[in-house]
Amino acid sequence: MDSIVVTGGAELRGEIPIAGAKNACLTLMPATLLSDEPLTLTNAPRLSDIKTMTALLQSLGCEVTSMQDGRVLALSSHDINNHTADYDIVRKMRASILVLGPMLARDGHAIVSLPGGCAIGARPVDLHLRALEALGAELDLRDGYVHAKAPGGLKGGTVTFPLVSVGATENVLMAATLAKGTTVIENAAREPEIVDLADCLRRMGAQIDGDGTSTITVQGVDRLGGATHPVVTDRIELGTYMLAPAICGGEVECIGGRMDLVSAFCERLDAAGVNVEETDRGLKVSRRNGRVSAVDVETQPFPGFPTDLQAQMMALLCTADGTSTLHETIFENRFMHAPELIRMGARIDVQGGSATVTGVERLKGAPVMATDLRASVSLILAGLAAEGDTVVNRVYHLDRGYEHVEDKLGAVGAKIERVPER
Ligand code: EPZ
């Protein structure tokens, strides 16, 4: 397994291009299952998770062609010949569950492996299943698989989520586009990736209103057509790279960045003493006066502070002047980066869903272990500010969500290299 070695201390200056959103692309790709006409996605990110979703769709009989060095994906579900999403693919990536709703809506049956948990929590899919049952799906859970049927097709209904779920909102939104009648989704997720999915589905002929708010209304249609759709900018990659000049100084312009995608995050950066300037190409970031100040953070569903930026923000706060508290309200075990940051000299006390961070002047480079996608990149950020070398192992986690991180950071002056496994 490759490692990444970061030598801290360099200030960063220049531009970092922000790619299309992994978490948008992973729900846009299964949307091809709703139509027998071609779906083309542009501005697609080049990530291992996209390759995994490609393999899953191909195992169902979809054609997925990657063009322009992976930035364009041409998908077609004209010849679906398998309605079973196997465990050996689903276990690698939980977003695989997102083929369930579209397959059920279009063909009236689907068998999808339950994804199982992951490092950051149990992450059940009960909300996905209850929502599809509200549209008339008959579900039978056995042998670790969901056996789903919709004899006579899905019917519009009211789905009221007891808690906000991005994936469950995406699954039922896709299914509702072909259900007979009207579907109302209450307490829907409001993330930009939901709005991006709705935009794509409307391009395919779906009738959707209210996406981006807590109540989404869908008028089912008989069939959907093809479309070409640009994947929305990745707000989590954006926030991650905005933190690089914040943690080690300098000035970086994140090309393609949009303030509306990261407004709650930017409010916390501003409170910590980080300047964010909107330019006509993106967002320019620099520290106002040297060391940042401690701030408190609480993760919330969009438009609140994103849980996917919590680990990265913790890395910044490890070097802040003062004591910060981070409350993680979305996942039950999302502080696994803390012990690794402590190995670098950080002072962090984790109590259940809260972490108290007492900033130190300087972190010390050390060998550390990546445990999940966002934890791994928080260790890279910490390494940028640390004294000496930080070796981040198990970077396959990183490659799931960040394309060529060493190239993007190296281009703005970071001392960072990928060391292939010996
Ligand atoms: C999506 O995961 C993202 N993944 C996650 O990003 C992100 O952290 C999460 O949304 C929250 O924003 C993709 O979009 C592929 P949820 P998802 O359903 O949909 C519980 C990353 O780093 N829940 O909004 O799985 C769940 O356990 C990844 O890119 C149920 O209880 O998240 C969690 O506590 C990590 N039952 C909470 O809801 C369910 O049926 C929110 O989960 C579904 C979820």
Q: What is the mean pLDDT of each run of 10 residues along the chain (422 residues)?
A: 93 98 98 98 97 97 97 96 93 94 97 82 88 98 95 96 98 98 98 98 98 98 98 98 97 98 98 98 95 98 98 98 98 94 98 97 94 93 97 89 95 96 74
Q: Which two tokens stand for residue 110?
A: 């689907």
Residue type, 269: L
Residue in 29, 123, 234 to alter for ligand 1 test, most ligand atoms within 8 A of Cβ:
123
- Give the ligand 1 atom nearest the CA of 374: 22
Question: Which pLDDT score, from 0 to 100, does residue 1 have?
Answer: 79
Q: Which two tokens stand for residue 99?
A: 């083929």
Q: Could you identify the residue written with the tokens 């929502």?
A: 131
Question: Minimal CA–CA distance to 132: which of 61, 195, 112, 215?
Answer: 112
**Which candidate in 62, 118, 254, 266 is catalytic?**
118
In Å, what is the CA distance from 201 to each residue of 32, 147, 195, 227, 293?
10, 25, 10, 8, 43
Q: Which two tokens stand for residue 26?
A: 């992973």
Contact criterion met (CB below 8 Å) for 114 and 72: no
| Centre of ligand 1 from the C-alpha of residue 153, in Å | 27
Pocket of ligand 1 (CB under 6 A): 23, 26, 94-95, 121, 123-128, 163, 165-168, 307-308, 330-331, 373-374, 401
- How far apart (Å, rounded) are the C-alpha atoms in residues 35 and 46? 24
For the question of residue 118 being annotated catalytic, the response is yes
- How far apart (Å, rounded) are the C-alpha atoms in residues 360 and 366? 16
- Give the ligand 1 atom nearest the CA of 193: 14
Residue in 165, 330, 336, 337 to alter for ligand 1 test, most ligand atoms within 8 A of Cβ:
165
- How far apart (Å, rounded) are the C-alpha atoms in residues 28 and 338? 33
- How far apart (Å, rounded) are the C-alpha atoms in residues 186 and 402? 32
Question: Minimal CA–CA distance to 214: which of 190, 179, 240, 191?
Answer: 190
| Centre of ligand 1 from the C-alpha of residue 12, in Å | 33
In Å, what is the CA distance from 231 to each residue of 25, 29, 283, 308?
6, 10, 19, 19
- Give the ligand 1 atom nearest the CA of 123: 27
Residue 144 has φ and ψ, to the nearest 5°, of: 80, 10
| Centre of ligand 1 from the C-alpha of residue 99, in Å | 16
Residue 122 CB-density burial (10 A; 0-12 exposed, 13-18 middle, 19+ buried): exposed
- Give the ligand 1 atom nearest the CA of 401: 29
| Centre of ligand 1 from the C-alpha of residue 330, in Å | 8
- How far apart (Å, rounded) are the C-alpha atoms in residues 348 and 138? 47
- Give the ligand 1 atom nearest the CA of 127: 40
**Which residue's C-alpha comes closest to atom 42 of ligand 1?**
165
- Interior/surface letters 126-150, b for 16+ CB within 10 angstroms, e for the rest: ebbbbbbebbbbebeeeeebbebeb
**Which residue's C-alpha comes closest to atom 4 of ligand 1?**
23
| Centre of ligand 1 from the C-alpha of residue 307, in Å | 9
**Which residue's C-alpha comes closest to atom 13 of ligand 1?**
23
Q: Quick one: how far is CA 263 from the chain centroid?
A: 17
| Centre of ligand 1 from the C-alpha of residue 165, in Å | 6
